[in-house]
Structure 1
Amino acid sequence: MLHYLYRMDANTIAEFDAAMQRKQATLPARIRPITRDWVELPRAFLLTGPRGVGKTTFLLHHSRISRVLYFSADNPLLADEPLYATVKSIFMAGYEGVVIAGSLGSDPGRGDALV
């Protein structure tokens, strides 16, 4: 497949959106002040830290208030697809941004990274 011709179909993007909404529905009622008080996210950043400190909660909370699509880089639907083309398709579908969740490695002590 030619990477520059790849375009993710609307059904796949809808599956990502549905998965994000399911995750958003499980957010805790009480949100940490830094999550609640942070008004505007930078254009790009890397959020790292050990498991359970609130990285996913932070990003899912902010994806609720803006047109941002959250998805996992480990999603099997992305296994053979170029990331650049996937993100481009998501922007072309009308989203203003993407949050890509992934692991820094197989070492459980290293934590996760969310971009």
Structure 2
Amino acid sequence: LGVRNIMLNSVLERRGEIGVRRALGAQKKHIAVQFLIESMLLTLLGGMAGTALGVAVVAVVTQVLDWPMTVELSFIGIGLGVTLGVGLVAGMYPSWRASRMDPAEAVRPAA
């Protein structure tokens, strides 16, 4: 939900950019794909940061408690895949909104 709101805010802040791109010939699908990719990158960066922090915490705890550390790469891959999926789902509505903007309305200053 947070990523969706961030992306919706991004769409609203970049209305002028979207309008200019559409006026210059960018297709709706190009605008939609741009915002979907941005949403997925945002969640992927968050997932990578969370994964790195989690691995670091596990490493510290295993050293302090003298436990063997076992972090399977497959779980990390699955986790990052899930974050990409969340980014895709969270970015669908904002990318749809961005791609459906009327170029003339988008370049007009907000009232």
TM-score normalised by the chain length of structure 1 = 0.30
Radius of gyration: which is bigger? 2
* The structure with more helix, counted as a fraction of residues: 2
Query: Which has the higher relative contact order, 1 or 2, with Cα contacts under 8 A spaced 6 or more apart?
Result: 2
TM-score, normalised on structure 2? Answer: 0.31
